[in-house]
């Protein structure tokens, strides 16, 4: 049960990452791999502030802002200096590795002693329930685990709803149109460059927020923790799209969250079944590869079959 709740919590936290990846890859069709760096940046900023006694809420918000700044930098490199989008992301990601080490001062900061959002949620839960565990349909569930899961769920609902609302405002629809048809939105008076910078800032802000929350949940920030996060987020988005099967913005947001949780559960099951944790990134990459080529392959086989018949 602890494993299940843990997987769902991490899945929910990383769904914020999936939403960020959704904005860059899907809304803007921009292959932004700054994410690997901004996940860690969010975690580093939050961690260093937490061990120095800053309030967890403030530290987490600072993580978000750091990620937003990183995303904006990638956007500026791409739009103002006309650097290829992929390369702009690589440059910022590489620079962030050193920046993250600078921020933390070392490669790993443990947060077990610090007051974090998780520890606060745990305290609230034990105080409210008055006992360390409760009975949930026959399972013994630790109150603190349940509290953190609920808190993560609440955060995701708030962020998801906020994002949905944003995408229905004048600014948000213009942002979606920028990804959909640049020629059209330019003819309607939108500066595509600035809109891209803003979009990447929001995207990487969310990704850094996921990093900050993940660090607080797992009890440490590590300079390596961002590696492969883009692919992870992309896998979640792809699963989400398969789950909801529509491009309506609200459903896609919900789908990305569900995809992230489902993907994390699948990984947990695979690890339980004996998958070597070292192979995890390889499995994830292969999964995304298959998901990317599958629609094309199916169409080809479909046509081939029709011709044979």
Residue 144 within binding range of other proteins, rule CB under 8 A: no
Stretch that binds other proteins, among 43-51, 89-97, 107-115, 161-169 (CB under 8 A): 161-169
How far is Cα 40 from Cα 63, in angstroms, rounded to an integer? 9
The residue behind tokens 């390369």 is 87
Q: Minimum Å distance from CB 184 to other proteins?
A: 6
Given 126, 133, 173, 284, the residue binding other proteins (CB under 8 A)? 173
Question: What is the per-residue DSSP string for 207-269?
Answer: HHHHHHHHHHHHTEEETTTTTTHHHHHHHHHHHHHHHH-S--HHHHHHHHHHHHHHHHHHHHH
Residue 169 within binding range of other proteins, rule CB under 8 A: yes
Q: Minimum Å distance from CB 242 to other proteins?
A: 18
Q: Minimum Å distance from CB 249 to other proteins?
A: 9
How far is Cα 15 from Cα 234, in angstroms, rounded to an integer? 10
Q: Minimum Å distance from CB 45 to other proteins?
A: 26
Q: Minimum Å distance from CB 186 to other proteins?
A: 5
8-state DSSP, 26: I
Given 87, 171, 293, 299, the residue binding other proteins (CB under 8 A)? 171
Cβ-proximal residues to 118 (8 Å cutoff; 6+ apart), any chain: 148, 151, 216, 217, 219
Given 78, 144, 176, 264, the residue binding other proteins (CB under 8 A)? 176
Given 2, 94, 107, 181, the residue binding other proteins (CB under 8 A)? 181
Q: Minimum Å distance from CB 162 to other proteins?
A: 11
Stretch that binds other proteins, among 62-70, 73-81, 83-91, 190-198 (CB under 8 A): 190-198
Residue 192 within binding range of other proteins, rule CB under 8 A: yes
C-alpha distances out from residue 219 to 202, 211, 212, Å: 26, 12, 11
Beta bridge partners of 220: 110
Given 105, 138, 189, 277, the residue binding other proteins (CB under 8 A)? 189
How far is Cα 12 from Cα 297, in angstroms, rounded to an integer? 31
How far is Cα 233 from Cα 215, in angstroms, rounded to an integer? 17
Q: Minimum Å distance from CB 172 to other proteins?
A: 7
The pair of structure tokens assigned to 200 is 């990447």
Given 134, 164, 166, 220, the residue binding other proteins (CB under 8 A)? 166
Residue 247 within binding range of other proteins, rule CB under 8 A: yes
Cβ-proximal residues to 280 (8 Å cutoff; 6+ apart), any chain: 267, 271
Can you give the binding site for other proteins, defined by CB under 8 A?
166, 168-174, 176-177, 180-181, 183-192, 247
């Amino acid at each position: 049960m602890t494993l299940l709740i843990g997987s769902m919590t991490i899945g929910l936290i990383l769904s914020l990452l999936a939403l960020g990846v959704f904005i860059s890859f899907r809304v803007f069709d921009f292959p932004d791999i700054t994410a690997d760096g901004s996940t860690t940046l969010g975690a580093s900023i939050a961690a260093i502030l937490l061990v120095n006694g800053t309030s967890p809420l403030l530290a987490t918000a600072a993580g978000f802002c750091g990620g937003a700044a990183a995303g904006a930098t990638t956007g500026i490199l791409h739009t103002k200096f006309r650097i290829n989008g992929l390369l702009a992301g690589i440059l910022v990601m590489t620079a962030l590795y050193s920046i993250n080490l600078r921020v933390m001062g070392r490669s790993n900061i443990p947060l077990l002693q610090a007051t974090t959002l998780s520890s606060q949620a745990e305290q609230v839960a034990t105080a409210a329930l008055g006992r360390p565990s409760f009975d949930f349909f026959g399972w013994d569930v630790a109150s603190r685990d349940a509290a953190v899961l609920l808190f993560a769920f609440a955060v995701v609902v708030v962020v998801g709803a906020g994002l949905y609302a944003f995408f229905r405002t004048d600014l948000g629809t213009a942002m979606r149109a920028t990804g959909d048809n640049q020629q059209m939105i330019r003819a309607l008076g939108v500066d595509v460059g600035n809109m891209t910078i803003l979009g990447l800032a929001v995207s990487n802000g969310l990704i850094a927020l996921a990093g900050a929350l993940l660090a607080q949940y797992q009890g440490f920030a590590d300079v390596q923790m961002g590696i492969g996060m883009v692919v992870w987020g992309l896998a979640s988005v792809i699963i989400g799209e398969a789950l909801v099967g529509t491009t309506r913005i609200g459903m896609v947001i919900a789908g990305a969250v569900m995809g992230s949780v489902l993907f994390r559960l699948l990984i947990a099951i695979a690890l339980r079944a004996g998958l070597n944790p070292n192979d995890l990134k390889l499995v994830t990459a292969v999964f995304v590869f298959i998901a990317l080529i599958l629609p094309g392959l199916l169409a080809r086989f479909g046509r081939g079959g029709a011709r044979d018949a």
